[in-house]
Chains A and B, each alone.
Chain A
Amino acid sequence: MKPLRIASGGPAPGRVEVVLEPAAEAGGTLAAFLETHGFPLNSRCGGRGLCHGCEVELGGRWVKSCQVSVGEALAAGGEVAIGPASLRNERLAGVQEYELQGVARDYAPVPRAGLGLAVDVGTTNLAGALWDLSTGRCLAVAGRANAQGRFGDNVLARIDYGTTVAWGGENLRQALGPGSLAPLAEDLAERAGTRPEAITEGVVAGNPIMLHTLAGASLEGFLRYPFRPVFLDARTMAAEAVGLPGSYAVTMVPGFGAFVGADIAAGALACGMAGNGEPSLLIDFGTNGEMLLREGGRCWATATAVGPAFEGGRLECGATAAPGVVSSLAWGESGWQPQWVGGGEGPRSGKARGLSGAAYIDFLALARAQGMVNPLGRLTAAARARVARGREGQVEQRLELGWGLHVSEADIAELLKAKAAIGAGMLALLDCAGLRLEDLRRVFVAGSFGYHLQPEHAMAIGLLPGLPRERLHLVGNASLGGASLLLLNPGLGEPLAAVRARTQCVELNLCPGFGDAFADCLALEPLSAAGAGQG
């Protein structure tokens, strides 16, 4: 049988060309073949042909490699080109930064011997920290892609996969514990010069769907309203049972509701929102946008379907933070000016690997200010270039940024939907509490995407409320911060229980006016002027 010729990474540097002998595997899918031979692809639908993540060019056509057998690929000429957007990036930078707000004096660590592991399990990314429990010193932090990503790029897709595909639940469990958490622990231990077996305690925060799959619990209760999760309270499991090497107890942080999880609960601790106090809002920008609003002695929490756009998902040049990726954009006399992840001059080849979520927000704000896009994200005549797309013969409108990067109208539409989900969610919570945007004294912005935002750009397009800058606090991975606090001082379970007791979960789809608020928030305009752009 003749060989398959694989070219990977596009024309940019790092292009790899290999010749593989598929003799024994001709019946399997091309995607599975590529994965076993060191080319894991961005499949987000579990190989069901629903997403575009595993598309490759075969014989001049774009095909979903999960829908093509190796034999068919050979019959089509055997020349396979994998574009940069289809290649999966597993080791991540930038998801593990966090800051703790005003908590040091209240929440002193309780020193004891041992090595502690704190982890935030996100839908898209995991982030972990390793702590010396005797000194309260952080020994290492690290991030990693959630290997469940290949089964769906959002929690609904994972629930669907876990409940409708044979062995789906087990595949999710394997991908998360042994497949993501264990390598993360290993990475952390290596960075700290120790072994993962030396860990003595673990605390894990994450949304309820992630914690359920980690615990091997059924996702059936998330299928239809009214939702009935198997557990929301704190749960302790043996490290071994969640796929971690070593023998110690891993505690899962309790959550608020079916879609409002331990991650936001931990975040509330990290932001000092556990107690009574002035009107404050915590927004955790993740694939599921979770929010907690505090007004006096009460709290309201919700989750809104943001999708993966802010983490670079579903965007043509979207990327998670890594060398060669643009971290932020400015606009000057000479056009678009990128800053690069990790600093420096950018790739010598002149070709970028992609744009981070925060850079897309810079783009939207600046392009809007320069009149390159209208309030609903259409490129204006002067700005756009019509580009014939390789796929399905469509023609799309896009704006070239240089460095081989572009933003299309379809990308902007994805970003607008994500932005509107956040905006409408915030307005719904404020409505519950009878507050206006300007009543908010403190807004904590959590998540790695939020940490790298330029607040004035986020405010300009209505992603964050337009408030005086000093009221906005970019806190990074608050879930990891809170999990770390709970690890260092297990007594913090008490204030956490108190927040849970006075928090009401809000189901956005049941809020009258949520759909209208969503439509209002689509426009690229400051949030305080919601409803503008309509007249």
Chain B
Amino acid sequence: MSLEALKAAVIHGKRKEVEVLVPALLAAGAEPRVLLDGALLPAMGEVGERFKRKEIFVPEMLVAARAMKAGMQILEPRLIASGIRPEFKALIGTVEGDLHDIGKNLVATMWRGSGFEVVDLGTNVTAAQFVAAIAEHKPQLVGLSALLTTTMTAMRDIIRAIRATGEAVKVVVGGAPVTQAYADEIGADGFAHDAASAVDLARRVLAR
């Protein structure tokens, strides 16, 4: 029972093992913060790197993300109780007209896995809902997802509505049909190809 074992369990997508190891490590006196920084975050970092090198594929990434999520669900209340707040807060949602969420959920998990607090607005999210959520949660980052060329067009209106609020929030976009050129055209602050690159992207735009 060690941080290494927990990290390996996340990387290999062993959700049930994670659900046993996290409480066990906590019971043995480990600090929640140490489990996060010493196992969960590096595990997702490694999963992302392996995915970018094409050493693993979407199935393994999804399963690792599930294991990570299971661990975070146990840790999160402890982290909050001990007064630890993530450095950044992000909102994420699939745009209006689109119900696909597997990619969006993966990005949410990867962001959580790199230490962000993520508020997931779900699917079919309208511009008005994004604007209201920004007012409520005051995030530094908003992520828009769309799977279809035809729903992607909603991104333009959502970005326009967000800009109109005058909030200094960064907006990044992603999804199968989205390209860098389209992201530039609609005035997004950034675009990433896949969930692994979405982490680098988020850090990059927030550092600007």
Complex Cα distance A523/B15, Å? 12
Sort A-B residue pairs by CB-CB distance and give the 7 closest, nearest first: A535-B16, A224-B97, A413-B57, A509-B99, A223-B150, A534-B15, A522-B59
**Contacting residue for A522 out of B19, B56, B62, B105, CB 8 A:** B62
Given A224-B148, A509-B101, A509-B123, CB of A534 within 8 Å of CB of B13: yes
Contact for A420 among B16, B59, B67, CB less than 8 A: B59
Which residue of A is nearest B146, CB measured?
Answer: A224
Q: Does B117 contact A (CB under 8 A)?
A: no
A412 to B60, CA, bound (A): 11
Which residue numbers of B lie inside 8 Å of A, CB to CB? 13-17, 19-20, 54, 56-60, 62-63, 65-67, 96-102, 105, 123-124, 147-151, 154, 177
A413 and B150 CA atoms in complex are apart in Å by 27
Kindly state the interface size class of chain A when it binds its partner.
20 to 34
CB of A223 within 8 A of CB of B148, answer yes
A413 closest partner in B (C-beta): B57
A522 in contact with B150 (CB, 8 Å)? no
Main secondary structure of the interface of A (DSSP, over half): helix
A377 on the B face (CB < 8 A) = yes
Would you call B150 and A224 a contact (CB within 8 A)? yes
Report whether A535 and B15 are in contact in the complex, using a CB–CB cutoff of 8 Å. Answer: yes
Complex: chain A residue closest to B67, CB-CB: A534
Q: Does A394 contact B (CB under 8 A)?
A: yes
Shortest Cβ distance from B7 into chain A, in angstroms? 16
CA distance A417 to B58 in the complex (A): 8
Residues A512-532 near B (CB distance < 8 A): 515-516, 518-520, 522-523, 531
Q: Is A522 touching B16 in the complex (CB atoms < 8 A)?
A: no
Q: Contacts A225-B98, A518-B102, A522-B59 given; indicate if A376 touches B13 (C-beta within 8 A).
A: yes
Beyond the given A164-B149, A522-B63, please list 20 additional residue pairs across the A-B interface where CB-CB is below 8 A: A156-B148, A223-B150, A223-B151, A225-B97, A376-B13, A376-B59, A377-B59, A378-B60, A394-B54, A410-B54, A412-B57, A420-B59, A509-B99, A515-B102, A519-B65, A522-B59, A522-B62, A523-B63, A534-B66, A535-B16
Question: Are A164 and B150 in contact (CB-based, < 8 A)?
Answer: yes
Interface status of A159 (Cβ within 8 A of chain B): yes
A166 within 8 A of B: no
Judge whether A160 and B124 touch: CB under 8 Å: no
A409 interface hit (Cβ, 8 Å):
yes
A316 touches B (CB below 8 Å):
no
Complex contacts, A531 vs chain B, CB 8 Å: 16
Q: Does A489 contact B (CB under 8 A)?
A: no
**Within the complex, which residue of B56, B99, B177 is in contact with A507, where a contact is CB–CB below 8 Å?**
B99
Are A535's CB and B17's CB within 8 A?
yes
| A522 and B62 alpha carbons, distance in the complex (Å) | 9
Chain B residues in 8 Å Cβ range of A417: 58-59
- Please, which residues of chain A bring their CB within 8 A of the CB of B101? 509, 515
Question: What are 20 A-B interface contacts by the 8 Å CB criterion?
Answer: A159-B148, A160-B150, A223-B148, A225-B98, A376-B60, A377-B57, A377-B59, A378-B60, A396-B54, A410-B57, A413-B57, A413-B59, A417-B59, A420-B59, A509-B123, A519-B63, A519-B66, A531-B16, A534-B14, A534-B16
What is the CA–CA distance of A534 and B16 in the complex, to the nearest angstrom? Answer: 6
Which residues does chain A contribute within 8 Å of B100, judged by CB atoms?
509
Q: How far, in angstroms, from A376 to B55 measured CA to CA in the complex?
A: 13
- By the criterion CB–CB under 8 Å, are B58 and A413 in contact? yes
Q: How far is the CA of A410 from the CA of B51 in the complex (A)?
A: 12
